[in-house]
Amino acid sequence: MQARLLLEDGTLFTGKAFGSTGDSVGEVVFNTGITGYQEVLSDPSYCGQIVTMTYPLIGNYGIARDDFESIRPFIHGFVVREHEIVPSNWRAEYSLDNLLKEYGIIGISGIDTRMLTRRIRHLGVMKGILTTSDKRVEELLEQLNGTPLMTDQVSRVSTKSVFSAPGTKERVVLVDYGSKSGILRDLTKRGCDVVVVPQDATAEQIRRLSPDGILLSNGPGDPKDVPHAAKMIAELLGEFPIFGICLGHQLFALASGADTEKLKFGHRGGNHPVKELKSGRCYITSQNHGYTVKEESIAGTELEVTHINNNDRTIEGLRHKKYPAFSVQYHPEAAPGPFDSSYLFDEFLTMIRDHQKNTPKISRQAQLAAAYEQQANGAAGSVSKGELTYAKK
């Protein structure tokens, strides 16, 4: 079956369909990873996007259960040069084509992905429509122009209820803006008691969980589309140690008074060089984002830049000068990609322990006693119940 990809500038690509059928509109982006197409497909940060893989052969090692980064794919289309129908890998449980069919995702192969990538690099990311229909180009262009890009991706991909991954060490509240499974794996591997909360959790709801630290996850879209998240972070800043990843990094910047902007074509791949300013060391990182923190907006805030991108000099890391909080624009959990930056999870736990030494917690018993004393004296306030929705067993 034939499939077509039409860009908003009128550029048309015609190829062969695989996966599902129909029409799908999204932002057309490219990923430069050589391997890891399953992790790309299942990364919630791609919600609302049509993803082009620059590596020419995709599907050759199939789909394995253990390689998913979320419960399902959220992308709006998949573009490859050559689609391998029969995978050759002892771990493969089914094919790429089966996966896309199962979740209603359209794929197109046999097009010049090199030309498409160069066009995006030259003109910037743009809307596109991927279709297996026989509609005229004029009809498709009208449909494309009449379909706005999504702005509610975070609410679509975030968990709707609280759930936990029990551990014996520090309690970390993971705010899910579209979190990859790799983040949870890295925390539980270090013995953390992880509680995952929805993207709209309030500061008060998070306080009730008595966290030792808060991790702000990656996620899709424009950070300014989730203003409630920046508000929550600003309220908890200084109260708990905070670590932000990708979208969490951008939200941390907004909460601290900085600003963000859209990149021309973003950073998506597993080999982006990042320089740590303190040591001068270069790390090879996994990245997936279309927005960045504006360098000039850092002036006048309590933030300092810790990492920069060696390709385009954009900000890749921030640290708060006053409070125990830091963030990175890239993915220390990789998946796929190099593990150069996994040490950041250890730095986060060290920050939590240092914070506990310097600011010992008031015991829960003392908090309850103070609350009941307020009630006895007729003061406002009481020990209230949580409002979060918890996952059912």
Pairing of strands 49-53, 77-79: parallel
Q: Is residue 374 a known part of a binding site?
A: no
Buried b (16+ CB within 10 A) or exposed e, 335-363: bbbeebbeebbeebbebbeebeeeeeeee
CA–CA dist 16, 14 (Å, integer): 7
45 is in an annotated binding site: yes
Backbone angles phi, psi at 145, to 5 degrees: -65, -30
Question: Does residue 333 have an active-site annotation?
Answer: yes
- H or E element, residue 164: strand 163-165
124 is in an annotated binding site: no
User: Does the annotation list 221 as a binding residue?
Assistant: yes
Cα four-point dihedral sign 225, 228, 229, 235: positive
d(CA 52, CA 290) in angstroms, rounded, equals: 14
Alpha carbon 307 to chain centroid distance? 19
354 residue type, one letter: D
Q: Which of 249, 267, 307, 331 is catalytic?
A: 331
**Interacting residues of 300 by C-beta distance below 8 A, sequence separation 6+:** 257
Give the separation between CA 230 and CA 208, rounded to whole angstroms: 19
C-alpha distances out from residue 73 to 48, 107, 119, 179, 363, Å: 11, 13, 26, 13, 43
Check whether 291 is labelled as a binding-site residue.
Answer: yes
Catalytic residue among 69, 246, 307, 316: 246
Phi and psi (nearest 5°) for 94?
-160, 180
Query: 163: which DSSP letter?
Result: E
250 is annotated as contributing to ligand binding: yes
In the residue annotation, 47 being an active-site residue is answered as no
- Paired strand residues for 50: 28, 77
Is 296 labeled as catalytic in the residue annotation? no
Active-site positions read 246, 331, 333
Give the residue numbers of the binding site for L-glutamine. 45, 219, 221, 247, 250, 288, 290-291
